[in-house]
Amino acid sequence: MSALVFAQWYEVQAEKEAMNTKKAKRPTLTIKMQKAVDEYSVMPPPIKKPQGEYTNSNVVDGKSVSTKYYFSPDNQILKEVTISGRYQLSGSAKYEFQGSVMRFSNIKGDLFLFSEIGEPLKVNSDHEIENPNIGVLSK
């Protein structure tokens, strides 16, 4: 194996290992996340809960990120995130609103998708939800 091929292979393996480590832990709490949760927790809960699938595509740290949320009628959420078309994170949880913050329980899958302090969420319409950390997700 040439040195260049080995270096490329090693880089891919290191990325995979880093992603696997990330998937197994809840996200690191940031001041921005805490401020958003504090702000949204005093807002009233959504009058109508989100239902069905919402998606968003962004660029984060120079990488394409596709986000998909699926809300079922029984207060379950399925989240799928694809980074650079190569890495996929997915998980599901039961949620309940406290103010306009979703609090999660019964988490299955990648912990990284479910913050310990909850996730701020605003329901703009039947076709649009907004998370201040991700942006607008649409049907």
Q: Determine the structural domain holding residue 126 and report its residue range.
A: 3-138
Which of the two residues, 76 and 1, has the higher pLDDT score? 76
Residue type (1 letter), 51: Q
Is-contact 41 121, C-beta < 8 A? no
Q: Which CATH number covers residue 96?
A: 2.40.128
How many separate domains does the chain show? 1
- CA distances from residue 8 to 14, 22, 100, 106, 131 in whole angstroms, order as listed: 10, 21, 45, 39, 36
DSSP letters of the chain?
A: --HHHHHHHHHHHHHHHHHHHHHTSPPPP-HHHHHHHHHHHTSPPPSS---EEEEEEEEETTEEEEEEEEE-TTSEEEEEEEETTTEEEEEEEEEEEETTEEEEEEEEE-GGGS-TT-EE-EEEETTEEEETTTEEEE-
> What does each C-alpha distance from 12 to 5, 30, 69, 113 come to in angstroms?
11, 28, 28, 22
Distance, CA of 57 to CA of 42 (rounded, Å):
28
Q: Which of 28-32, 41-45, 80-84, 102-106 has the lowest mean pLDDT?
A: 28-32
- 41-75, pLDDT tens digit by residue? 999 999 989 999 999 999 888 888 999 999 999 99
Q: State residue 98's pLDDT score.
A: 95
Predicted TM-score (pTM) of this structure? 0.81
Higher pLDDT, 18 or 6: 18
Confidence of residue 16 (pLDDT cuts 50, 70, 90): low
